[in-house]
Amino acid sequence: MDAAAAALRSDPLALEEQVCFALSVASRAVVGVYRPLLEPLGLTHPQYLVMLALWQHEPVSGKRLSELLRLDPGTLSPLLKRLEAAGYLRRERDPDDERTLAVVLTDEGRALRTEAEKIPPAVVERLGMGLDELRDLQAALTRVIAQTGSVAERVQ
């Protein structure tokens, strides 16, 4: 290891050594890879995440959707409004519990899934990483998410 690398490793506040920095830059870069793929569908990345959750779990309550996406209701609500205005979903009162808001896909929202199925392979290709490497990364990040959730619960 050269002197510069050794000095970098000895500084606990070196930017390049920070997990938060690497995650932040990687997140912006990956969202940038998705952007041109989502534009033809009329979706932003956060809207795409909502649609992914709905394609997997609909019908779903607004509260459960908020939990699945790990978004507070104040952040989720405008996303749902825009997707509803685009004709991809409806928000309805649950007939069994009028206090609960159910989110359901429209026929147009369900049909959008066919186009969206092209996105994951295009992202893999654009990232230029092997599928196994990406699965390992996703698993590691899932562990980070789980651990940070545990830490947050212990702190509260």
Q: What is the CATH number of the domain that holds 69?
A: 1.10.10.10
Helix axes 45-57, 62-69, angle to 10 degrees: 120
pLDDT of residue 153: 59
Q: Is residue 6 in a domain? A: no
Instruction: Please state the length of the chain.
Output: 156
Q: Is residue 21 in a domain? A: no
What pairing do the DSSP bridges indicate for beta strands 97-105 and 60-61?
A: antiparallel
Q: How far apart are CA 66 and CA 101, in angstroms?
A: 12
Mean pLDDT of 19-32: 96
Q: What pLDDT, in 10s, does the model give residues 55-100?
A: 999 999 999 999 999 999 999 999 999 999 999 999 998 777 788 8
- Kindly report the pTM of this predicted structure: 0.86
Q: What pLDDT, in 10s, does the model give residues 128-152?
A: 999 999 999 999 999 999 998 865 5
Q: How far apart are CA 155 and CA 41, in angstroms?
A: 41
Share of residues in the chain with pLDDT > 70 (%):
90
Domain count of the chain? Answer: 1
Q: Is residue 10 in a domain? A: no
Q: Is residue 17 in a domain? A: no
Query: Minimal CA–CA distance to 60: which of 85, 113, 52?
Result: 52
Is residue 88 packed enough to be buried (19+ CB in 10 Å), middle (13-18) or exposed (0-12)? Answer: buried
Q: Is residue 8 in a domain? A: no
Q: Is residue 114 in a domain? A: yes
User: Could you tell me the residue range of the domain that residue 63 belongs to?
Assistant: 30-155
pLDDT of residue 154: 55
